[in-house]
């Protein structure tokens, strides 16, 4: 946009670790090379090479080089770009890629705050050229260095896995509001793109500018010191305004698109929209209704409740809502009572999936899976244990959690009250309140008649400084690894501390879920805006909040509202569809009232025929009148897949992630058929 040039190098000197999904994303975005240096700050282990092919989760490889410039007595490399005789020498001395090439890249200029090359550095560069006793140096371009490196012969090392950063683990959790806003904005913009695309096909203008402006604000705030939580208070005052504006704009786009789509339904119909890519059975949160809802000849289970803020709403369980589609329900003023199969008291909750027993402190003392006929928890252990840890890292308060935090744990057992708050045909729940220090916690634990999730809706007034709150579930599962969601896939990490590489991962990040499974059974722990986990041996633990005092003195103090969910399941996480259950926790059903005269029941805009393939995005192309559909394989499987639309498809093209056409795809009627490989991301252009 600025210089008429596409960069082929991903230049990320100062980022706190790199997802295993990144090589594929880079390659499919036209990026061939990757540079970083932050990984040299690892606390325990040193990456054994500076030049290597980084192999991603799907097998894609990308040529990677570290900058090896050292500074004074520090053990790590720097991204700040000093240019002195010493740094020229250390860049070459530190370089481990000498068996591959006789040149090393060294950047200079003031970084970490900006400024770039200064006049005196330019003069120094001239004087250091051919300076006796130092490596020969010359000015050059980054892309040309990588191109020479790519063509030189020599042994090429391969790093297969994430580039886990053994530092700054606190950034998975710090500044919870920012992480919550980021998640909600991404979901809202996903929904806005999908619904606006459907309205566009009905002749409405697609709001490119509004959507793109909103995305730019969200992406800007994913900068490495904003979203991670390591900025000053003034920054978060600004980002709150940015996020609110983006969220409001996305919801306005959504509402405008819905006003078009709802014209296909009668005025006495409640229409429920599913913006996920599989047929869905879920609970819709509707404005408080009087009367009953009917799905054809069947009454929908409904229940009037109060949300965590005390606002009345109606819950309705709706089955078989089509992929990226909608289903209409008839609203009848007469009431239809449905019997509840749920059992709840102050000491137990039971549905057709689980029988849960609570102890005198409100912790789970037994969780029996009725389908699998087994106890989920470790014998004698308690589930949903809230634990407070002293959180005093040696340095970098907002950034770091240090391994010794485990030495000072205080269980949160004191119970203020426990009471039944809901029972009905949709869900049942108890509310538990606790006090600790100057803080108060209110937790609403829900089970559902027809959903196998156990939700823990949590409202905390947090007033503890330099303390961290975690929740633990000791489960009766035997496995030497746990699985975690990453972008477009999943990764395994050890549950033991056999080596320094293992124990360095004492706190790790995940997107929407983490899972511990043995051969035929497992337990997933889902989140809706929290990213920090630690799973050691058989204990699943999730980091809920922390409260560092620098650089923001009052970071994360005050009220926080969030939900995490337990999902015990038969089989492993992939066959148990943990990906889908976590998405459903995060992406609620959308509803509206019909505004037309026609009677419709349900329809699916676009669907996929394999449950392990997820349609991630549907949008209008940036510069062509066609749809863009992005999907990915989520469970390490391969095969032939078929994408189906609600109308004939004229043409289809394979695209890269920049929406550039790569080749035609096979089309038959309203279907597109193609092959997919494990964890592959596929982008398709569609003319309908």
By annotation, the residues acting in catalysis are 14
User: How many residues belong to the chain?
Assistant: 688
Contact partners, residue 363, CB within 8 Å, separation at least 6: 382, 383, 384, 385, 413
Task: Count CB-CB contacts under 10 A for residue 159.
Answer: 16
As to burial, measured by CB atoms within 10 angstroms (0-12 exposed, 13-18 middle, 19+ buried), residue 579 is: buried
Round to whole Å and give the CA distance between 387 and 434.
12
**Do 469 and 386 contact (CB within 8 A), yes or no?**
yes
Question: In terms of Cα–Cα distance, which of 633, 626, 619 is closest to 649?
Answer: 626
The tokens of 335 are what? 């009431």
Round to whole Å and give the CA distance between 510 and 600.
40
Contact partners, residue 354, CB within 8 Å, separation at least 6: 367, 368, 369, 370, 376, 447, 452, 454, 568
The tally of CA atoms less than 13 A away on the side-chain side of residue 597 is 0
Round to whole Å and give the CA distance between 115 and 108.
11
Q: What's the CA angle centered on 7, arms 6 and 11, to 5 degrees?
A: 160
Q: What's the CA angle centered on 75, arms 72 and 81, to 5 degrees?
A: 55
Buried b (16+ CB within 10 A) or exposed e, 457-486: bbbbebebbebbbbbbbbbbbebeebbbbb
Contact partners, residue 592, CB within 8 Å, separation at least 6: 258, 261, 262, 270, 271, 273
Round to whole Å and give the CA distance between 258 and 271.
10
Round to whole Å and give the CA distance between 334 and 341.
22
Backbone angles phi, psi at 315, to 5 degrees: -95, 135
Beta bridge partner(s), residue 141:
none
The tokens of 132 are what? 């006796």
Q: What is the DSSP letter of 221?
A: T
Q: What is the DSSP letter of 27?
A: H
196 membership: H or E segment, kind and range: helix 176-201
Round to whole Å and give the CA distance between 604 and 598.
17
Q: Give residue for tokens 């949903």.
A: 384
């Amino acid at each position: 946009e600025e210089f008429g040039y596409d960069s082929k190098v991903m230049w990320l000197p100062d980022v706190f670790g790199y997802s295993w999904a990144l090589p594929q994303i880079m390659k499919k975005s036209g990026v061939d090379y990757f540079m970083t240096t932050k990984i040299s700050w690892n606390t325990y282990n040193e990456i054994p090479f500076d030049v290597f092919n980084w192999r991603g989760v799907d097998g894609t490889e990308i040529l990677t080089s570290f900058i090896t410039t050292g500074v004074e007595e520090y053990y790590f490399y720097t991204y700040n770009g000093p240019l002195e005789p010493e740094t020229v020498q250390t860049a070459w001395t530190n370089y481990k890629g000498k068996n591959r090439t006789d040149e090393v890249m060294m950047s200079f200029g003031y970084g970490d705050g900006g400024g770039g090359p200064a006049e005196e550095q330019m003069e120094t560069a001239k004087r250091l050229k051919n300076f006796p006793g130092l490596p020969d140096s010359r000015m050059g371009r980054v892309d040309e260095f990588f191109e020479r490196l790519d063509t030189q012969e020599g042994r090429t090392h391969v790093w297969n896995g994430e580039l886990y950063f053994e530092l700054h683990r606190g950034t998975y959790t710090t500044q919870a509001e920012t992480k919550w806003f980021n998640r909600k904005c991404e979901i809202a913009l996903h929904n806005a793109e999908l619904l606006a695309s459907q309205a566009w096909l009905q002749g409405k203008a697609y709001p490119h500018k509004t959507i793109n402006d909103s995305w730019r604000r969200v992406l800007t705030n994913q900068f490495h010191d904003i979203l991670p939580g390591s900025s000053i208070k003034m920054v978060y005052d600004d980002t709150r305004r940015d996020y609110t504006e983006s969220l409001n704009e996305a919801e306005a786009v959504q509402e405008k698109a819905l006003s078009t789509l709802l014209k296909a339904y009668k005025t006495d119909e409640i229409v429920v929209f599913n913006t996920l890519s599989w047929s869905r059975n879920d609970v819709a949160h509707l404005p408080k209704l009087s009367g009953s809802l009917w799905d054809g000849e069947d009454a929908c289970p409904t229940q009037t409740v109060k949300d965590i803020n005390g606002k009345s709403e109606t819950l309705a369980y709706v089955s078989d809502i089509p992929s990226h589609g909608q289903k209409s329900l008839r609203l009848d003023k007469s009431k239809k009572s449905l019997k509840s199969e749920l059992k709840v008291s102050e000491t137990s909750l039971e549905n057709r999936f689980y029988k849960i027993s609570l102890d005198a402190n409100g912790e789970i003392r037994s969780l029996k899976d009725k389908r699998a006929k087994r106890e989920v928890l470790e014998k004698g252990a308690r589930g949903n244990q809230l634990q407070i840890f002293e959180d005093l890292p040696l340095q970098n308060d907002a950034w770091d959690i240090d391994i010794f935090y485990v030495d000072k744990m205080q269980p949160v057992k004191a119970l203020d009250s426990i009471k039944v708050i809901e029972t009905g045909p949709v869900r049942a729940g108890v509310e538990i309140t606790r006090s600790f220090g100057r803080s108060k916690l209110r937790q609403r634990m829900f089970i559902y008649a027809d959903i196998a999730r156990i939700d823990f809706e949590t409202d905390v007034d947090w007033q503890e400084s330099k303390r961290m709150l975690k929740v633990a579930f000791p489960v009766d599962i035997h496995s030497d690894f746990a699985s975690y969601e990453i972008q477009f896939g999943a990764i395994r990490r050890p549950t033991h501390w056999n080596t320094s590489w293992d124990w360095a991962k004492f706190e790790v990040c995940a997107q929407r879920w983490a899972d511990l499974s043995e051969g035929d059974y497992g337990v997933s722990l889902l989140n809706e805006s929290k990213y920090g986990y630690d799973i050691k041996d058989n204990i699943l633990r999730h980091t809920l909040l922390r409260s560092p005092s620098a650089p923001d003195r009052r970071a994360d103090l005050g009220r926080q509202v969030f939900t995490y969910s337990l999902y015990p399941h038969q089989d492993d996480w992939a066959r148990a569809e943990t990906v889908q259950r976590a998405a459903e926790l995060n992406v609620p059903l959308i509803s509206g009232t019909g505004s037309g005269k026609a009677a419709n029941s349900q329809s699916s805009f676009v669907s996929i025929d394999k449950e392990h393939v997820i349609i991630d995005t549907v949008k209008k192309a940036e510069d062509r009148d066609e749809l863009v559909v992005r999907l990915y394989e989520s469970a390490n499987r391969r095969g032939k897949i078929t994408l189906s639309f609600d109308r004939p498809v004229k043409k289809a093209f394979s695209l890269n992630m920049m929406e550039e056409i790569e080749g035609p795809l096979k089309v038959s009627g309203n279907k597109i058929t193609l092959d997919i490989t494990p964890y592959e991301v596929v982008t398709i252009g569609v003319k309908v």
